[in-house]
Amino acid sequence: MRAATRQDSQTGSEGIYESFSDMVLCTLIVLITLVVVLALNIAEQLNVYIEPNHFSGGATRPWLYLQAQDADYSQTSIERLAVERAVFADADFVLVNLFSPSSALSATTVKDGQTISAKDGQAFDGQSDLTAYSFLQLAAGIEPGSFPVAGNQTALMLPKFAHKSIALEPGKANGYSVSPDNELALKTMALAWPVYGNKLFPRRAQHDYLDARTKIYVEVLESAGDTHRIMIGHSVFTLPQDVENGRLGWLAGFSSGLTEVVYLGTAWSDPAKKSNKRIAFFEQNGFTEAAVDYRAFSYPGALSADNEALLQKAMAARPDIPRERLEQYVRAAAAQKAISTVIVNGGSANQALPPLLAHRDAWKAYVDQCSKDEINGTPPTWLMGELLEPLGFDQAVIRGMSKENA
């Protein structure tokens, strides 16, 4: 009996252990099943937003939509262009047009002096008309980025040439218009960014260029009241007006994961001392020639003999315009004539370039220092709401840890 009892007791104990193991196994199976079902449910929910046979990527290269043409003001006759005819006569005049993507790709026409859509119901916005010299002032604040192909650097930012005839005499029957020239546009870009003198490779595998970046450098200008102004290169824009009226619409073509807008802080100017933030930096860091040229550019003195001769022509054409305004126009016109001649006919460009491009080493040092100074700075809140968000640049750049800091 005792043996039998002992045997029964042992059998019962083993049964308990076996039952407990089975229970644990069953529980585990149930948990695994629940996890699988949950995962399938999540996957099914995600499929509402992500189609398994639809694919996209976020590494498209930035585009600059533009065109350029060589205008001849001697072929115009309307009174509004009397000063242009007097100052430029039959000289080369390179005009650069920047477009938003929608404007560049839309068919347009001119009516009552305004550029409008040529098709009913087709919307477009964003065109900026610049002299070549003004374009180069703006271009100084943009770094197109580059990457190597077959041992040479090629540009990351790609040009997208528009093909719109520009009417210089809108509203006049058979008024003078000028057609774009892609080679002229590319030559103008090469003056701003020498990398465009190399061969372009629009179609490359993403891994070739994913480490390259296009950068747009933005400084805030001190302004009175509620006026908000920024500077890109040496071009000044008012916010939010210049986003709303399309003057900054061309920046929409830069919207890419490979583009960075870099805040350089607040600039200052002291006209009484003929100095500003950039001049002070150049002087303090040994860029003497850059400081001299940028001071003469920012705070010009008396007109040269050649410019005085141009002024007399302008005053004869439009005696109703104040002399001060015509002096400003003549200075800009002289620079525009010089750079247009270089673009069309070739030759040394350094003397004709704006100071920030003529002294690239000094300007790069300034940009690098300001970028470091503002690395932990906070841009004004209006910059986000009035510039970055409307143009699609509201995502902060996140840097990976470098190997030495890992």
Q: 106 lies in a domain? A: yes
Q: How many CA atoms lie within 13 A of 302 on its CB side?
A: 3
Task: Please tell me the distance from the alpha carbon of residue 131 to that of residue 267, in angstroms, as a whole number.
Answer: 25
pLDDT digits (tens, 9 = 90+) for 117-148: 556 655 556 789 999 999 999 999 999 999 99
The rounded distance, in Å, linking the Cα atoms of 317 and 311 is: 10
Nearest to 238 by CA among 246, 249, 227: 227
**pLDDT tens-digit profile of 241-294?**
999 999 999 999 998 889 999 999 999 999 999 999 999 999 999 999 999 999
Query: pLDDT tens-digit profile of 27-70?
Result: 767 667 666 555 555 444 444 444 566 665 667 899 999 999 99
Average pLDDT for the chain: 85
Higher-pLDDT residue of 203, 54: 203
Higher-pLDDT residue of 124, 346: 346
| Residue 16 in domain | no
Number of domains in the chain: 1
Evaluate whether residue 245 is within a structural domain.
yes
Q: What percent of the chain has pLDDT above 70?
A: 78
Beta pairing class for 63-71 and 114-117: unpaired
Inside any domain, residue 109: yes
Q: Is residue 275 assigned to a domain?
A: yes
Residue 41, in any domain of the structure: no
> Higher-confidence residue: 169 or 403?
169
Q: Assess if residue 15 is contained within a domain.
A: no
303 or 396, higher pLDDT: 303
328 neighbors 334 (Cβ within 8 angstroms): no
For 182, the domain range is 60-406
Comparing 8-22, 57-71, 118-132, 317-331, which segment has the lowest mean pLDDT?
8-22
Q: How confident is the model at residue 398 (pLDDT cuts 50, 70, 90)?
A: low
Q: Which residues contact 180 (CB under 8 A, 6 or more apart)?
A: 67, 68, 69, 97, 161, 162, 163, 164, 165, 166
Q: Is residue 246 included in any domain, yes or no? A: yes
